[in-house]
Amino acid sequence: MTELKRQHYVPQFYLRFFSEDDQHINAYNLKLGKAFQTTISKVCQEKHFYSANTALEKAISQLEQIHAKTLKKISDSGRSIELTTEEYYSLLTFVTFQLARTRESKVKYEKLTDWFTEGFFKPMIKSDPNLDVSNDTLDCLRIKWPGLFGLTLSYGLKGVCGIFDLRPVLIVNGTERDFITSDAPVAKNNNLKLGNLSLGGLQSPGLQILCPISPKLAILLYDQDMYMLKGNGPALSINKLSDIDAMNGLQLLNCLVNVLYRRGPDGLYILKLHKKCQHLIKEREVKSSLVETKRNDNGTFSEIIKFSTENIYNRATFSFLKVHRPNYRQLKRQYKRGRKRTKTLVPFRSKQLADMMTAELRTVNELEERYHKD
């Protein structure tokens, strides 16, 4: 029962890929700037992180068993990525679920709830003449939505169809320098820019998703319409330290607290890498902007407000992956024309997959509403 209370947001089977003895792992704390060794059972976990109801943890453990088999097959293969349809689907669900389940993801949605409380609910209460609520009472008001993170986890599974079109490549590290990982190992990257859009969505044009599988292997999923890859095979060996540093740097930029790695002496390398990219590490603050105001038939007004976090996705470039300039220019022209028709335009790679993902997420919302009604 103790194990079910201690719930990992990065699975232990994954962390063992970066351990020399399957029990211990080295960590570098970004906030403290210190390296230390810890046990896998104690890192990337919190008491009742998902829920005090251990049924959810049991369900996640069953899913992890499927993911573990797929990632072990990739890790053992060395230089190939020959997966069955079921195994490839398992890999994609590992990616999208891991994006949703981290501590960083939970913190982001807690901040979003706080923003709604301070930016909408409290001002609405203050402006209502029928409500007599003191400022002291309002200052103490906090809104929590325990089910929000569970909803986010459902999105992580149902949203997998959004990355069906990304091309997978196994990156083989041909250098003596290891890949590192972190408490948020699946990192998004995007070398495109369209206005002030974040371009970090699962269907965003130009999306790259990178995840180290071991100190010598990593998975890259990328938009093949917007990038040209050096080589056409399912695996690519890289031998430039600058590429390894760029991929490792993404782990520092993506993680919340701890960078994780295999060899203890690599702590000095990570310290230097941290100092090099420290100015790029930013808090994931929730931002809002008024996109459009509409006048309703009854004389009232409605506002469309966009919520986003800081654009942190255009952060790394690699020698083996180049932007397809003609396709990028065409995308920018299409976006510019679309913005003239609607300010709320959100570009996507595939309308079919975007519609499929929207339908899946709508189903999750409907089930959530039905659950609360019952």
Average pLDDT over residues 113-126: 79
* Residue 280 belongs to domain spanning: 2-373
Determine how β-strand 45-47 pairs with β-strand 6-8: antiparallel
Q: Which range among 146-150, 272-276, 337-341, 356-360 shows the weakest confidence by mean pLDDT?
A: 146-150
* Residue 132: per-residue pLDDT: 80
* pLDDT tens-place string over residues 268-316: 999 999 998 887 776 555 566 655 666 777 766 666 665 555 555 567 9
The structural domain count of the chain equals 1
Average pLDDT over residues 123-133: 80
Average pLDDT over residues 135-158: 78
Q: Please give the full DSSP string across 240-281, using - where no structure is assigned.
A: -HHHHHHHHHHHHHH-SSEEEES-GGGHHHHHHHHHHHGGG-
Residues 184, 190, 192, CA angle at the centre, nearest 5°? 165
Report whether pLDDT(1) > 50. no
Specify the DSSP class assigned to residue 31: T
Question: Coil, strand or helix: which one is 346?
Answer: coil
Long-range contacts of 1-7 (CB under 8 A, 24+ apart): 1/54, 4/54, 4/57, 4/58, 5/47, 5/48, 5/54, 6/41, 6/45, 6/46, 6/47, 7/45, 7/46, 7/47, 7/48, 7/49, 7/50, 7/57, 7/60
Q: Which range among 118-132, 137-151, 174-188, 232-246 shows the weakest confidence by mean pLDDT?
A: 137-151
Q: How confident is the model at residue 346 (pLDDT cuts 50, 70, 90)?
A: confident
Report whether pLDDT(332) > 90. yes
Q: Which residue has the higher pLDDT, 303 or 143?
A: 143
Contact 14, 65 (CB under 8 A): no
Report whether pLDDT(64) > 70. yes
**How far apart (Å, rounded) are the C-alpha atoms in residues 270 and 94?**
26
CA 265 to chain centre: 29
* Residue 115: per-residue pLDDT: 76
Q: Please give the full DSSP string across 42-78, using - where no structure is assigned.
A: GSSEEETSS-SSHHHHHHHHHHHHHHHHHHHHHHHHS
Report whether pLDDT(250) > 90. yes
Continuous H helices in the chain: 2-5, 12-15, 54-77, 85-101, 103-116, 122-127, 135-140, 147-158, 241-254, 267-277, 325-341, 351-373
**How far apart (Å, rounded) are the C-alpha atoms in residues 14 and 170?**
17
The number of C-alpha atoms within 13 Å of 78 and in the hemisphere containing its C-beta is 0
Report whether pLDDT(130) > 50. yes
* pLDDT tens-place string over residues 170-210: 999 999 999 999 999 999 999 999 887 878 889 999 999 99
* pLDDT tens-place string over residues 2-59: 556 788 999 999 999 999 999 999 999 999 999 999 999 999 998 888 877 778 888 8
Q: Which residue has the higher pLDDT, 234 or 373?
A: 234
Average pLDDT over residues 226-244: 93
* Residue 135: per-residue pLDDT: 81
Average pLDDT over residues 54-68: 90
Residues 18, 244, 167, CA angle at the centre, nearest 5°? 90
**How far apart (Å, rounded) are the C-alpha atoms in residues 360 and 6?**
30
* Residue 324: per-residue pLDDT: 97
- Torsional sign, CA 184, 189, 193, 199: negative
Percentage of residues of the chain with pLDDT beyond 70: 87
Whether pTM exceeds 0.95: no
Contact 233, 168 (CB under 8 A): no
Residue type, 92: L
